[in-house]
Chain A
């Protein structure tokens, strides 16, 4: 039987589009904007606790990031290249992370440099040349710069500038109860303005820290806001939970075995800015962290253990190094461990 060639249907009037055709309308920009709004609450709390210096650090980081983003965005627009970031929301979140992850004692120009490196090299650069961010941009730029400054022996007081092994910290001994107690003086005796309440070291660490990371000025604020963000915006919560639980158990353990008060140990190891802020807002950075659920638990536990060890040996950027180590091994963590798909459970007669 003779069949004719196509006639009328040849003329295509619509572009063929594959499914789906329905979208939740919750885009990356919205995710980033909501993250930024929530992190801004932590930034406000930090400025209240730490004062103008914290504000300048945050504004410096945001300003640098916004400037670099605007230049690149304008260039991409001029050249007709697809925008890497459609809006400044994602760069602003990264900038805020830089601001909040800087120690309050750091020079402002270091914050500006970290922000510059972060946005140009580790955010735009990694995305463009590696097609994926393997390292957390804020952590990578901060540790790169701090290590660089610390090893520049020709700089006057390079260790203090680099803030990696602060000379003052090198004298502390957190491996003994006495040494730990002696180290806590900087957190004790803080008086909350207007209320006039004087805080112990443990309370200071949780509520009112004027030392260390800007983002950890109020550890309890980070815990609350971070939990809300993780639940609301579906961060990789397994990393947060496993990290927090591991660090709490380790602190409790060392507190019970070596002393002093386990509560102060937990307050220090868990609520210090370099851990509590890092675990909520840096260790959950999606691109540099694993996908499988079990791998996320491994990631969280490992980052807590490494941070704990670094803390005990006074490495100031310890949590950042711990995070970067885990970032580097994430492609391997993605590989072997996957959940059992539907129809593969042996108990159900699966394949």
Chain B
């Protein structure tokens, strides 16, 4: 079995659910291994929330490691895209995007060599003004690495004054351990990144929220103390890592529906994003590589350092795994991420994990039974909506009812499906329900 089943159905109500974290635990002790670039790298021009970057290169162009190949005009939501290798552009084409599932523009780069010279001039964060640091963050194409991939430079320039910066190291997802590894292996860089973000925002009140127990990340915790950064140990339960729930957990503030933490003066950034910010400022590296956690039954948990654009099959080959042995490969959280249709799909900025399922680990939701209305889904929902009633309304296309049931507040954490005795994938109904409401509004 891929997963050691933990039958914890003595769940507390409304979130705080103990999901099976055996994958995370299996990967936690494995240090990062650097995956060399593939012969051909596939770089999508949209790896962030927002619009596709404008292409800056042509077929036949030579590109350098870190060179900008996609630009976002100022004022537009998005982040620049950079070449992950020294190489040559061999193809510009529309390919299926691993996240949207739609055809989007991708640049195929033939790798010439593996050298990694910093593309930007390193900056001294203590000497440079905030504006310069913020511009470097923008130029480096940094996005939120917790999964949302919201452009960091936009988040770091909020319209409202920020009073509290929360660094999310909660890592709720049951198959991801790379953030924790980063805290073990790169503690100084993370602290530096946090301080840079605090300087840009002019924030004194900083809290790092972590799932780790005392002794798991000793150097990181010592540095937090040294820099007067608060540490909050979170309960290990799933879904607290969600931005709004994290704010509620730490500060007791409930972010109003439809608003963001910034609307109440709070900013939440992922711990890996803090590392990326430091890497861009102090080392001059744009965001072209990241840590991720790989898991398969045969290999167990592995933490890898991978360049964006690396095809998944190359990652598998590096690990000695054959793509053909899997029947499903999930990018990102196994509770929130979709599978990919093809192992040639590349790693994106938001790819925090790759998990391979073989024929022996068949899809647990493949033959759903009729709903028995047990209400387990409602009980565990961390945002107090009713997934089962939403499913009924979605099936009837009842938009008014969907609105009354506040489908738009669903955070798509997947807990409702996880506990369903009838093996129903509620997420489908919830996302469709959200779209129905959204479509009627516009």
Query: Residues of A at under 8 Å CB distance from B?
Result: 1-9, 11-28, 30-31, 82, 84, 86, 127, 131-132, 232-234, 236, 286-287, 289, 291-292, 334, 338-345, 348-351
Contact = CB atoms under 8 A, between A and B. Distances in A.
- Among A11, A18, A84, find the residue whose CB has the most chain B CB atoms closer than 10 A: A18
Contact of B341 (A12, A24, A232): A12
B92 A1 contact: yes
Nearest to A4: B93
A284 to B, nearest CB: 10
Interface stretch (B119-127, B148-156, B217-225, B403-411): B403-411
Given A21-B355, A291-B389, 20 more contacts: A6-B93, A6-B96, A12-B341, A14-B340, A16-B101, A18-B338, A19-B333, A20-B334, A31-B421, A86-B369, A286-B374, A334-B389, A338-B386, A338-B389, A338-B405, A340-B384, A341-B384, A343-B409, A344-B409, A349-B256
Interface string B50-92: 0000010010000000000000000000000000000000011
Main SS at interface, chain A: loop
A17 to B, nearest CB: 5
B350 to A, nearest CB: 14
A338 B385 CA distance: 8
B205 interface: no
Interface stretch (B1-9, B178-186, B188-196, B207-215): B1-9
Given A9-B95, A20-B418, A24-B8, A234 B254 contact: no
Nearest to A235: B374
Interface string B1-28: 0010101111100000001100000000
A342 B254 contact: yes
Contacts of B422: 27-28
Contacts of A4: 91-94
A12 B333 contact: no
Interface of B: 3, 5, 7-11, 19-20, 55, 58, 91-96, 101, 103, 105, 174-175, 244-245, 248, 253-259, 264, 323-324, 326-330, 333-345, 355, 357, 363-365, 367, 369-376, 378-379, 382-386, 388-389, 404-406, 409, 412, 414, 417-419, 421-423, 425, 427-428
Contacts of A344: 256-257, 406, 409
Contact of B94 (A3, A289, A338): A3
A20 B11 CA distance: 19
A201 to B, nearest CB: 38
6 contacts: A3-B92, A12-B341, A13-B324, A16-B338, A22-B19, A287-B372
Contacts of A82: 367
A22 B17 CA distance: 13
Contacts of B383: 341-343
In the A-B complex, list the 10 residue pairs whose CB atoms are closest, starting with the nearest: A20-B414, A23-B364, A343-B257, A348-B254, A342-B383, A4-B93, A28-B421, A20-B335, A12-B341, A21-B334
A89 B429 CA distance: 28
Contact of B427 (A20, A234, A342, A348): A20
Contacts of B371: 132, 287
B20 A16 contact: no
Contact of A19 (B258, B334, B341, B404): B334
A19 B337 contact: yes
Nearest to B238: A22
B172 to A, nearest CB: 12
A24 B326 CA distance: 22
A305 to B, nearest CB: 23
A132 B369 CA distance: 12
Contact of B409 (A7, A18, A28, A342): A342
A17 B338 contact: yes
Contacts of A23: 364-365, 417-418, 423
A349 B265 CA distance: 14
Contacts of A345: 254
Contacts of A18: 338-339, 425, 427-428
Contact of B336 (A3, A14, A20): A20
A6 B257 contact: no
Given A13-B342, A28-B422, A341-B383, A21 B257 contact: no
Nearest to B17: A24
A19 B427 contact: yes
B54 to A, nearest CB: 10
A154 to B, nearest CB: 41
Given A9-B345, A236-B375, A16 B340 contact: yes
B441 to A, nearest CB: 14
B68 to A, nearest CB: 16
B373 A341 contact: no
- Among B8, B327, B364, find the residue whose CB has the most chain A CB atoms closer than 10 A: B364
- Among A5, A86, A232, A338, find the residue whose CB has the most chain B CB atoms closer than 10 A: A338
A21 B328 contact: yes
A26 B7 contact: yes
B384 A6 contact: no
Contacts of A232: 10
B20 A22 contact: yes
Contact of B386 (A236, A292, A342): A292
Contacts of A28: 369, 372, 421-422
Nearest to B415: A20
A149 to B, nearest CB: 31
A17 B336 contact: no
Nearest to A9: B95
A259 to B, nearest CB: 40
- Among B95, B105, B324, B388, find the residue whose CB has the most chain A CB atoms closer than 10 A: B95
B373 A26 contact: no
A190 B427 CA distance: 56
A20 B363 CA distance: 10
A227 B421 CA distance: 20
B349 to A, nearest CB: 19
Contacts of B357: 21
Given A1-B92, A4-B92, A31-B374, A19 B406 contact: no
B423 A27 contact: yes
